[in-house]
Amino acid sequence: MAVAQSEALAAKSARLLEERKADDIVVLQVEPLTSIADYFVIATGRNQRQLRAMAAQLREGMGRLGITPLGTEGTAEAGWILVDLGDVIVHLFDPARRLLYDLEVLWGDAPVLNWAEVCINDEAGRQDAQ
């Protein structure tokens, strides 16, 4: 997948999580730093029910786009769910696990993507094409 496509996928993932009221959504462009993914999407759910809803929203939304996750790890009960979309890896945490793993610090050299702007530009591009 081209980086531009994975950027759009990361932004769409963030938008889907926002629809489930995820907190502190951050998209990191890790592509210059690692070969495991182009983007990490990191978000916080306030409780187990919200974490499950966020993961379900992500899987359903990707399914509507014809994208099947390569895998899912973790559970809401463990406070951490990872959804592997290939070039985009989505990390869903409860507040305590988010602080514990602190991926933003661990990947501190990664540029932060303004995912809301990417979504706006993508929507504008689709409207222009119609």
Residue type, 129: A
Report the distance separating Cα 25 and Cα 91, nearest Å.
10
* CA distances, 11 to each of 71, 93, 105, 118 (Å): 19, 18, 21, 6
Reported pTM: 0.90
Per run of 10 residues, the mean pLDDT along the chain (length 130 residues) is 82 96 97 95 97 96 95 96 97 98 96 87 51
Report the distance separating Cα 40 and Cα 32, nearest Å.
12
Report the distance separating Cα 49 and Cα 66, nearest Å.
26
**Do the beta carbons of residue 104 and residue 27 sit within 8 Å?**
no
**Do the beta carbons of residue 11 and residue 118 sit within 8 Å?**
yes
pLDDT of residue 129: 47
Closest CA to 56 of 26, 17, 93: 17
pLDDT of residue 3: 63
pLDDT of residue 4: 75
pLDDT of residue 122: 60
pLDDT of residue 128: 47
Domains observed in the chain: 3-125 (3.30.460.10)
